[in-house]
Amino acid sequence: MDKVVGSAAEAVADVGEGVSLAVGGFGLSGVPSVLIGAVYERGVGGLGVVSNNCGALGSGLAVLLAAGRIARVTGSYIGGNKEFARQYVGGELEVELIPQGTLAERLRAGGAGIPAFYTPAGVGTQVAEGGLPWRYDGRGGVAVASPPKEVREFGGVPHVLEYGIRTDFALVRAARGDRHGNLVFAKSARNFNPLAAMAGRVTIAEVEELVEPGEIDPDHVHLPGIFVQRVVALSPEQVAEKLIEHRTVRG
């Protein structure tokens, strides 16, 4: 039951070329930056990433993106990541944009063993009708567009069929975790992390504080250890490294 491994490098040693990764975090909050750095050091590429966004300020997934290691992104937000936008518009990167709530539910559904579900989000738009650019051709045209999706009515309201997401691996960050993989997330870091963890066939968690089994009140567990296969305890230096996307101070 002890799922703790000695280092991030050991934890991602079987993350290979072309695998799919569900990655927790939202902006700069709750990003598993140490595990992402370990994947970068492995030198693998052609990765398919499922995450709300693709990093910011040159950190998190932006490190893999800038190195050309990511082939496809499934997410909901490009944001201020200029390199993400450049690669997408330039035809270097395939991108499937999904409504944020739908992305969250697709991850949760995949982890819960639900193959598909219907949602009203996206009805009457290219999300349902198809035609969203997944990949540009680099000359202003669309090389690959999204296909149309099945639409059915429930109670007279149309709904779009969406599929659950499962990935080869998941990388997440938690504030506390025990040796059995039970995790607690801090505040806004409890965003996409539990959902990404559920979607991964092999889930790796970096934890800021490692505790012994039983030290976390069962009522306080945000994600049970059944969804986690490996745990990496962060050093104090790694925990202390925090980035702020938009620093606001009083005069």
Q: What is the CATH number of the domain that holds 80?
A: 3.40.1080.10
pLDDT, tens only, 141-169: 999 999 999 999 999 999 999 999 999 99
Please give the pLDDT value at position 41. 97
Any domain includes 126: no
Output the pLDDT for position 1: 86
Supply the pLDDT for residue 150.
Answer: 98
Evaluated on CA atoms 31, 35, 41, 45, the torsion sign reads negative
pLDDT at 123: 97
The pLDDT value given to residue 81: 86
The whole domain housing 56 covers: 8-115+164-240
If one counts the domains in the chain, the total is 1
- CA dist 199 and 225 (Å) reads 14
Segments of the chain with pLDDT less than 70: none
CA-closest candidate to residue 26, choices 205, 232, 193, 176: 193
Residue 211 in domain: yes
Q: Is residue 249 part of a domain?
A: no
Question: For residue 153, what pLDDT is reported?
Answer: 98
Per-residue pLDDT at 184? 98
Q: State residue 247's pLDDT score.
A: 80
Inside any domain, residue 133: no
